[in-house]
Amino acid sequence: MIISHLHRFIFVPVPKTGTHSIRQALREHLGEGDLEQVGLFVKKRFPYAELARVGHGHLGLEDVRTHVGDDVVENYFSFAFVRNPFDRFVSYCAFMTRQHGAFEQDPKATMRRILFDLRPVDHVHFQPQATLLTGKDGALNVSRIGRSESMQQDYDAICSHLGIPSSRLDRVNTSQRGDYRQYYDDELIAGVTELYRRDLELFGYGF
């Protein structure tokens, strides 16, 4: 997460949606008193012990409310990027098995094992995107949602709203794969649909 008091915005980074590209671009505009928490590539922590212990930077607005105050959470412009859950799950499986190459060797078997057997519901990368982007009432609590599928265009619009210069987003922490649909069968489609139903409904995605 990035909290900019200088430009009055909060970036809520959803895992596997191109967050590091956005972070890298936003850092050019941060002031001395602005805050970032991130655990990959550039390791930074918020000055709040409870949040610093989390170890990663994928925090929602409700996670920081008691630390930064209602005024910041309610009045700063908050934004996040989301991604088609079917595509995101493929990316997650490839990312989590990159050390031993299980996904490359047998994508469908790897996806089934993670989805149905391991089912790591406590892992922030596995959890629905809505987990970070909704309040206690289940409604969206961020000011604007961008999409990974139109990342540059949406980032340009966000920068325009904030009154800061936009820039060409670099590709950071990406991998080369084909169309996500080639990795699915009916069983996997049904399983991902069930797990990420709220994301599919809230953000208007489908297979």
Banded model confidence at residue 148, pLDDT cuts 50, 70, 90: very high
Question: Quick check: 204 pLDDT over 60?
Answer: yes
CATH number at residue 164: 3.40.50
Q: What is the pLDDT of residue 62?
A: 96
Q: What are 146's strand-pairing partners?
A: 81
Q: What is the pLDDT of residue 174?
A: 61
Question: Quick check: 153 pLDDT over 90?
Answer: yes
Q: What is the pLDDT of residue 43?
A: 87
Question: Quick check: 171 pLDDT over 80?
Answer: no
**Bridging pattern class, strands 35-36 and 9-11:** unpaired
**Whole-angstrom distance, CA of residue 151 vs CA of residue 129:** 16
Contact predicate 33/58, CB 8 Å: no
Query: How would DSSP label each residue in 86-148?
Result: HHHHHHHHHHHTTTTTHHHH-HHHHHHIIIIII--TT-TTTS-THHHHB-TTSSB-SSEEEEG
Q: What is the pLDDT of residue 175?
A: 64
Per-residue pLDDT tens for 51-90?
Answer: 999 989 999 999 999 999 999 999 999 999 999 999 999 9
Share of the chain above pLDDT 90, in %: 92
Question: Quick check: 93 pLDDT over 70?
Answer: yes
What is the residue-averaged pLDDT of the chain? 95
Question: Quick check: 4 pLDDT over 90?
Answer: yes
Backbone region of residue 169 per phi and psi (left: phi > 0; alpha: psi in -120 to 50; beta: other values): beta
Over residues 135-142, the mean pLDDT reads: 94
Question: Quick check: 181 pLDDT over 80?
Answer: yes
Number of domains making up the chain = 1
Per-residue pLDDT tens for 13-50?
Answer: 999 999 999 999 999 999 999 999 998 778 899 999 99
Question: Quick check: 97 pLDDT over 80?
Answer: yes
Of 81-90, 109-118, 140-149, 171-180, give the lowest mean pLDDT range: 171-180
Question: Quick check: 176 pLDDT over 90?
Answer: no
Q: Which helix (H) or strand (E) holds 10?
A: strand 9-11
State the residue range of the domain holding 181.
Answer: 2-203
